[in-house]
Amino acid sequence: MVMFRCRRKFLIFADFFILGVLSIATKSSKDVQINEEIRDKELRVIGPDGAQLGIMSSSAARKIAEEQDLDLVKIAPQATPPVCKIMDYSKYMFEQAKREKEAKKNQKTVEIKEIRMFSAIDTHDFETKVNQACKFLKGGDKLKVSVRFRRRAIAHPQLGEELLVRFGEACSEFGTIDKQPKMEGRAIVMFMAPKSGKQGS
């Protein structure tokens, strides 16, 4: 029974620690209380190695942190009492910023490219637009395909819709229709998304 209680307490403390670190990662430095900013009467303190140092006053916790030349950081303000961890805060923030920068560098930005056509487009121009669209879809970009109507052609919107459906079929190897054709002013617009597995191939 004693071992079960100890294990349960350890798991609770571990949850506090994990949730606390995640909350620090999602907050700006202005939102996190450190050192003298922490004025709670009692704190549950975690050491730099993850060990539980127990419940103590904020002044006692700061003293322990200062003795180790580290910072006292509040990681779970919603807990009772609040949970603080002793750590090198500036080093933590530097490593966090470095990880975020690396993640952004590896993240591909999806752009929406636009293909414009007129309802009376000829075969050669249509094929050129299709080739251009396939290149964008292969690169992983989304497409906005629009058909504009000149003068009285607006009276026959079904022609533009048929053209877009034909365009979608011509690009079907690399993309799928994400949003069906819809009238927007003097144009009819359709959105396409790249097929998974076809990007960059």
pLDDT, residue 59, reads 92
CA 93 to chain centre: 19
For the chain, give every domain's residue range: 2-104, 112-194
CATH for 2-104? 3.10.20.80
> Which long-range contacts (C-beta less than 8 Å, at least 24 apart) are formed by 96-100?
96/24, 96/25
The fourth-level CATH superfamily of domain 112-194 is Translation initiation factor 3 (IF-3), C-terminal domain (3.30.110.10)
Mean pLDDT of 29-41: 82
For residues 97 and 14, what is the distance between their CA atoms, to the nearest angstrom? Answer: 24
Mean pLDDT of 30-37: 82
* pLDDT tens-digit readout, 155-197: 778 888 899 999 999 999 998 888 898 888 888 999 999 987 5
Mean pLDDT of 3-21: 46
Global pTM reads 0.45
pLDDT, residue 1, reads 46
Q: Which stretch of 7-11, 100-104, 164-168, 181-185 has the lowest confidence by average pLDDT?
A: 7-11
pLDDT, residue 183, reads 87
pLDDT, residue 197, reads 58
For the chain, helix, strand, coil in percent to 5 are: 45, 25, 30
* pLDDT tens-digit readout, 115-156: 998 888 889 999 999 999 999 998 888 999 999 888 787 777
User: Is a pLDDT exceeding 70 seen at residue 19?
Assistant: no
For residues 171 and 188, what is the distance between their CA atoms, to the nearest angstrom? Answer: 18
Q: Which stretch of 17-21, 85-89, 124-128 has the lowest confidence by average pLDDT?
A: 17-21
pLDDT, residue 60, reads 93
pLDDT, residue 199, reads 55
Mean pLDDT of 41-66: 92
Binned at pLDDT 50, 70 and 90, residue 24 comes out as low
Binned at pLDDT 50, 70 and 90, residue 43 comes out as very high
For residues 170 and 71, what is the distance between their CA atoms, to the nearest angstrom? Answer: 61
pLDDT, residue 54, reads 92
